Chain A
Amino acid sequence: MSVERRVISVTVRDQPGVLVRIAGLFARRGFNIESLSVAQSETPGQSRTTFVVRGEPNTIEQVQKQLQKLIDVLKVVDHTETSFVDRELMLIKVAVRGPEERVELRQIAQDFRARIVDVGRSALVFEVTGDEGKMNAFIEQMSEFGIVELIRTGRVALPRSAQTPATPAARAKVA
């Protein structure tokens, strides 16, 4: 069976250990979490987590059902089934060897609408926000200069306000 990639949001009650329960569930069913982000939602006492996971469709369905069974889980949304927006934030430190490179890097950053958040003698730190494609493209561009280190938040996602069915293009983007 084919392996799919899904973006799943889980709204949970803020209880100690709830993340452990969710992570344990993924682990137990042999499921890889590609990225995970978690923070307060608009409702006090509730958090929203976004997972990007990879697995066979029936396994993903099973995990969603198992998530739904957890007492502290309020809602499970598989964004792949709907139209959604998603973003990710990355901090990336890139080596700079001379003034020419510095100019070139600034130009690329501008094209990507990335911000420079730290300027050092031998490196620049960029902040990039966007979807996954943009992150990967930026990383590719920067790798020629030498990436010192980078960190990504993982994707966060929300359904679009008009709940239109997912377009084939939106599906393709996720896959």
Chain B
Amino acid sequence: MNGAEVLIRALERQGVDVVFGHPGGAIMPVYDALYDADLRHVLVRHEQAGAHAADGYYRASGRPGVVFATSGPGATNLVTGLATAMMDSSAVVAITGNVPTSLIGTDAFQEADVYGITGPVTKHNYLVKRVEDLPRVVAEAFHIATTGRPGPVLIDIPKDVQQAAIELSDDDFDVEIDLPGYRPTVVGHAGQIRKAAEAIRAAERPVLMVGGGGQIAAEQVMNFAELTGIPVITTLMGIGAYPSGLPQALGMPGMHGTVTANRAITHCDLLIGAGMRFDDRVTGKISRFAPNATVVHIDIDPAEISKLVKAHVPVVGDLRDVLPRLGTELDRLDIAGWWEQVSQWKARYPERYKTDKPLVSQEVIELLREHTKGECVVTTEVGQHQMFAARLFPTNAPRTWISSGGLGTMGFGLPAAIGAAFARPGEQIVCIAGDGSIQMNIQELATIAKHRLPIVIAIANNGVLGMVRQWQELFHAQRYSEIFLADSNPDFAKLAEAYGIEGHNVFDRETARRLIPEVLGRGGPALLNFVVYEAEKVYPMVPSGAGVDQMLIGDQEPDREEAPA
């Protein structure tokens, strides 16, 4: 066999059933080996989309996503996808071809220093120079990508290594992982867990804040919440890790968080951060974040402890280990007074928006939620629609909310929906997008059309880059610089139809109400382009640099007459 066949065999050994990718010169031996293999390959139309699809596949299933790309431009096109996966701790294994080893460093055709370029945006990366290393490198790559804090790993394989002949037996693929420098701490320290339990027992106003780490520990989060009766905040990455519809759920914290979540953070005397990393979009100004709280920080990555918010009680470990053990030392917390306060905030600040204007994004998103009964996978692009969706369409099951949190990558949602569709066959996928971000990977309509994927794309089309417009209106004196899209947007319905996908342009409420259930009933693929009110803003909002207690409440402020005393 040759190196390319070794690679395919090693991938199959890892249980890989689908690969996203795009061929090119330096990876042709791999594509040649693929021709005879059982491994399913999904041809994307841009490598970036391949990386996002692999990422979406992981987020939707918990199984590592795999992407193939060629050298040079193929590999550099992966970079945004790798950085996105890195920031959101997503297990992606990227395989790139490279020019033959003899040409590396000579500025050969389609050569780039992929190993050097991708180092900072991967958990680890490899340049394989000997074919006999391939089984070990692939095994290590999957091990590193999926264990500890998950993350992307890239394997760069020069073309001559793909072509090199080698005789390997099945045993040669049984690789024992030997990585002395990599031993993630999974089991929490007993003493630290005891300290955490003491702090929690002593608390009068505790909150639990669950991040992306909760996606693999939803059961443990649920048990812990039920046991203690603690209010639960879920970050953008934590949506679905705890069902948003339950009474204990306070919603999302931070810049576009709920009033209740941000008030709870401000007034709590104990904050448990679980599988989250205190991103600046969550904390706002650090000195005003949970100023009265003892912080218990549970995370598998020791480097996150006290990186931004000082942890008074750090517990390094996997939530699946730490939360149940913490639970054994706790009973239901006596926090009725705190709940009274929190419930008042919840009652006073429900999600609300005004419909005394043309169609707004929020009602479109609510209609989608209503007609899917929340039973679907939601992917989003990045911008206003993303925040509206996080607030109005937070899903209730883990691995069903897929959104670029850390990197905030426009162009993520559509290819991520493709990945999710392959990860969860037969399930409805809803991709919520804006008219700006959808155009960053719109070529993937072809991939969706080809595989007739059950994806319903909803564009909240306000004709501008909405989030930028919001900032310009609020903080840049209404100087609307370079945000206008409407005059040159395509006819999205026609565009979808050109790809062979059902498409509709929707201009009013009545059509929206009629079409959404109709299209969802057919399951997709379909594209719904909702022309929505341009100047709608996401509220509440914590201005950049302000504390989470300094929200602009906007439309969320209750009208005087209806406000409870």
> Taking beta carbons and an 8 Å cutoff, which residues of A are in contact with B?
12-13, 16-17, 20-21, 24, 28, 58, 61-62, 65-66, 68-74
Contact = CB atoms under 8 A, between A and B. Distances in A.
Contacts of B477: none
B117 to A, nearest CB: 11
A66 B179 CA distance: 17
B301 A69 contact: yes
B394 to A, nearest CB: 31
For B120, B181, B306, the residue with the greatest tally of chain A CB atoms inside 10 Å of its CB is: B181
Contact of A71 (B116, B120, B179, B302): B179
B127 interface: yes
Contacts of B124: 70-71
Contacts of B120: 24, 28
A68 B144 contact: no
Q: How large is the interface on B (under 10, 10 to 19, 20 to 34, 35 or more residues)?
A: 10 to 19
Contacts, number: 38
A111 to B, nearest CB: 45
Interface string B22-54: 000000000000000000000000000000000
B119 A72 contact: no
Contact of B181 (A20, A66, A72): A72
B127 A17 contact: yes
B181 A74 contact: yes
B181 A65 contact: no
B181 A62 contact: no
B181 A71 contact: yes
B180 A66 contact: no
B307 interface: yes
Interface in B41-80: none
Contacts of B127: 16-17
B115 interface: yes
Given A17-B119, A17-B127, A28-B120, A65 B303 contact: yes
Main secondary structure of the interface of A (DSSP, over half): helix
Contacts of A12: 181
Contacts of B123: 71
Interface string B300-317: 011101110000000000
Contacts of B181: 12-13, 70-74
Nearest to A67: B303
Contact of B144 (A24, A65, A71): A71
Nearest to B182: A71
B307 A17 contact: no
Nearest to B153: A71
B144 A66 contact: no
A58 B115 CA distance: 30
B213 to A, nearest CB: 16
Contacts of B305: 65
Contacts of A72: 181
Nearest to B301: A69
A20 B303 contact: no
A17 B116 contact: yes
Interface string B272-309: 00000000000000000000000000000111011100
A65 B302 contact: yes
Given A13-B180, A65-B302, A71-B123, 8 more contacts: A17-B119, A17-B127, A20-B119, A28-B120, A61-B306, A65-B303, A71-B182, A74-B181
29 contacts: A12-B181, A13-B180, A13-B181, A16-B127, A17-B116, A17-B119, A20-B116, A24-B119, A24-B120, A28-B120, A58-B306, A62-B307, A65-B303, A65-B305, A66-B303, A68-B303, A69-B301, A69-B303, A70-B124, A70-B181, A71-B123, A71-B124, A71-B144, A71-B179, A71-B181, A71-B182, A72-B181, A74-B180, A74-B181
Contacts of A16: 127
B96 to A, nearest CB: 15
